[in-house]
Structure 1
Amino acid sequence: MNVSNAVDPDAPVLSNDGLLGIVALAAGAFIVFGFIVSPPGEIMSGLVKILLARDTLITDYIGVGGMGAAFVNAGLLALVSAGIYRLAGAKIGGASIACLMLVLGFGLFGKNLLNIWPIIGGVYLYSLYKQEDFSAHINTAFFGCALAPVFSEILFSTAIPISVGLPLGLATGLLMGFVLPAAAAQLFKAHMGFTLYNMGFTAGIVGTLVVAIYKSYGFVPDPVFIWTTGNNLLLGSFLIVLFLGLIGGGIYLDRSAVIRMKDIMALSGQSPSDFVALVGIGPTLVNMGLSGTIGMIYVWLVGGDLNGPVIGAIFTIVGFAAYGKHPKNVVPIMAGVFLGSLAKPWGASDPTIVLAALFGTTLAPIAGRFGWYWGIVAGFVHSSAAQSVGVLHGGLNLYNNGFAAGIVASVLAPVITAIQWRKADHPEEKL
C-alpha cells in the first residue's frame, strides 16, 4: 500500500482543537464516572491521599483513594495536560493523542497533579536552553512523566525530612526532565522504532542511573504493591461504553471508517507511524476503540483483574492505536506473552504477566514488519524481560515494560533483520 496516498481526500480533517476535544471527552467520561461511583466528599479525601502517595510500582489509585477519586484524578490530569498542549500551540497528531491517552490511563496509577511538574519543568528548561519552542518537546515532557514517582518517593520518604526532600525531589525531577529529550533522541537509534515506547526505554535507563546514585548514599526505595480486585463488571461496563463511543465517533466522522481499517492494518506500525496523518481520524478512532476492546477481552479471557494499572495498560493500547498499534500487530505479542506463561513458572492471570501482555504490545511493530510469528517470539521473550528489569530502577519508572521492550527490540530486531537478509540472499537455505 502506498501510505502517502492513504488519506481519503473527502474524509473530514479535525483541527487541533477538535483532536484535543476527543481527548477532553474521554477525560470528561472518566470524571463523570468517578462522580457516579463515589460521593463528592469521598472523592475529595481520596484525591488528597492520591497526591500524598509514593507511587512506586505498583500503586493502584483505586486502592489508595477509592474508585471515584482515581478516575477524577485521571480525568483532571488529562484535561490539564490537554490545556497545556493548547496553550503551547502544539501540533496535535497521533503521537500527541497517544501521549495524552497515556496521561489519562496512568492517572489511575502513578501520575497525579502533584508529581508530574518537575519532569515537565525540566523539559521546558531544556527547550529554553536550546532556544526551541516547548511545543517541539511537549510529547517528551508528558511521556517523560514515567519518572514522576521519583519526585513522590523522595518527597514522601520517611528516610528524608520534607525540608530536604522537597528541594532534593524538585532538583532531581528537573535534572531528569532536562536530560530526557537528548537521551530519547539518541536511544531511539538503538531499537529503530521497533518499540513504540521509546520514552519507556529512555526513562528506564535514566531512572536506573538515578536510583543507582541514590542507593550509593543509602537511599533505597521501598517496594509497593497495591492491587485491587473484584471490580471487573463495573469497570468492564464503563470501558465497553467508552470504546463503543470511540468506534461510533469514528464512523460519525467518516462513514467509510470501518472499511478503511484495512489501510491501518496494512501498516507495520514501526515508529514514527502517525495513523491520523496517514489514514485519517475516523479509521483511527475505530482502531482505538477496537484495539482497546481486544486488550480488555484478553484480560477477561485469562481471568485477570480490571483495576487502575490494568486500565492504564489498556489505555496505552488505545492511545498508541493512533500511533502504531492495530489488532493485526498487537495480538501476536499478547499470544507470545500468554505462551510464555504456559512455559514458565507463572500464570497468565498474574498481575505482572497481565501487564506484560498489555504493555508488551509496544513491540507490535516487530509483528507488523517481520510477521506474526516473530511477534509471538517477541512477546515470549518480553514476558521474561519484564520480570527482571524492575529491580534496576526500583519501581520508579512507570513504563517498566517499555524499558524491558526497548532492550528486547534493540537485540531482537537486528537479529531478525540479519536472518531475513540472509534468507533473501540465499533462498535455497533452510533455517
Structure 2
Amino acid sequence: MKFVKKIAIIIILLFLLMVWSGIVRNVSLGERSLGVLTEPVKTFSETLSNIKKTYTYIFKAPEYYIKTKDADALDINSLSYNLYGLYSYRNGDAFKIELKNFKDNTLKHEWNVPVNRLSEDYEVDGNDRLYPATLMQDFDIIVSCNERPGLLRMDSNSKEKWFNSDFIFHHAMNLDSIGNMWIPAVKHDNGIIVPMKVLLEGHTTSYRDDLIVKVDANTGETLYSKSLTDIFLENDLESLLNKSPYVNDPFHLNDIQPVLESSNYFKEGDLFLSFRSSSLVIQYRPSTNTVEKIIEGPFTFQHDVDIISPNSIAILNNNTIVTQVSYSEIEFKPTNQSVERKISHSNVLIYNFEEDTYRPLYEEHFIKHNIFTGAEGLYRIFPNGDMFFEEQGSGILWVINQSGVVLKTTLKSDIEGYHYLPNWTTTYLEDELNSLK
C-alpha cells in the first residue's frame, strides 16, 4: 500500500510540474492568461535565473567584458593630435555610448539607451550589444543593436528621434553621398530571422539571406532593400554561393561601403559589399542591378572595406583559417608528416584596381605585436598616414604608422582586471567633430 501511495504522489507531482511548466512557458512567451497573476508568476519563475546571473556577474564577468592581460594593462600613448572615439558598451541595465578623446583620455559626451526601450520590441539578452554608433549633426547618434530588430536615432540628450524595427540590422553602417545610411540586415518575424530555403541533394535546408538596406537618416524610413540571393542569381553568380563553407550562412555580409565620388574604376552610388563566409568582396551597382567586379585575393574572413583613392580600396584581412567545415570521416594511415598553418596576425591590404595588386600596410607592426582578430574588427587610415585598428577579439585599440605604435589602449571597465569589449569604434578628428556641432 505504501508503494502505491508513493507512486501516486510521484504522478501527482509530475502532473503539477507539467502544469507549472506550461504556465511558465505561456508567461515567458507573453501570454496574459493568468491576468493579474501573470507578472508575479513571471517574477517567481525568473528567480533562479536571476540568482545564477548574479553569481556569474560576481564570480565571472559577463561576455561583454574581456580579462586584461598583464601586457595590455599599461597604455602606450604618443598621440600628437586629438583623436576621438565613439564606442558603446553594456553597463548593467543600460547601454552606454561615449565619445572620448584618446589623446588625453577625457570624456567629450555620453548617451544612454535603457534596455527596457529595446525590450519593447524584443527580449534583450544579457550579452546583447549596440554597434556601431555613428555621430550626426548636433551630436545626434544613430546606433543599432547588433542582430536584433531596430535602428535608433537619438539626440545629444539621449532622447529618441526615430526607431526603425523593419529588419534585424547588423554590422557596419555607412553614409552615402547624399546622407542616406546603408546597413546590412535580415528579415524577421517578432525578432526571429525569416530564412530562405535551398534544396541540397534532396534535402531542404534553411539559410540566412542577408539584405542590403538603405535608410533615410533624417526620418528613419526604409528607402530600399535588396536580397543578396536575388543579386547573385540575377547576375548569374550562383556558383559563388556554393563557395561558402557555411550552408546556413552563405553570405555573412559585414560591410556596405558606398562610393562617394566617381572615378575610372567606380561610380558614385556603387556599393562595395564584403562577405565574410566566402572571403569575397564585390562591387555592386544598385542603379542597374549589376555586379561590376568580383574581388578575390589573399584575404580570408575579411571586414571593413574602405575606398582610399580613385583607384584603390583597403580591406581588413582577418586572416582567419576556416575550422568549422563538416566532412565525412576518412580513414588515414598514421603519419609523422605535418605542415603548420599558423596565423599570427591580421592585416590591412591595399588593392590597386589599375595594377590589380595587393600590398599590406604596416605589416611589420602587425607581426611584431601579434595584432590579430579572428572575427569583426575595423580600421581607418587618417590623412597623415596613421592607421587606427580595432583588435576586436582582444579588445585592444591601436594607432600605428611607419615608425611604430602611436596608441595602444583598452576601454577600462568597472570590474577590476577586465576591460570592455569594443563595439566597432568610430573615430573622428578635430575638424570632423567641429563640423558636427
TM-score under structure 2 normalisation? 0.24
Q: Give the number of the structure whose residues are more often helix, by fraction.
A: 1
TM-score under structure 1 normalisation? 0.24
Larger radius of gyration: 2
Q: Give the number of the structure whose residues are more often strand, by fraction.
A: 2
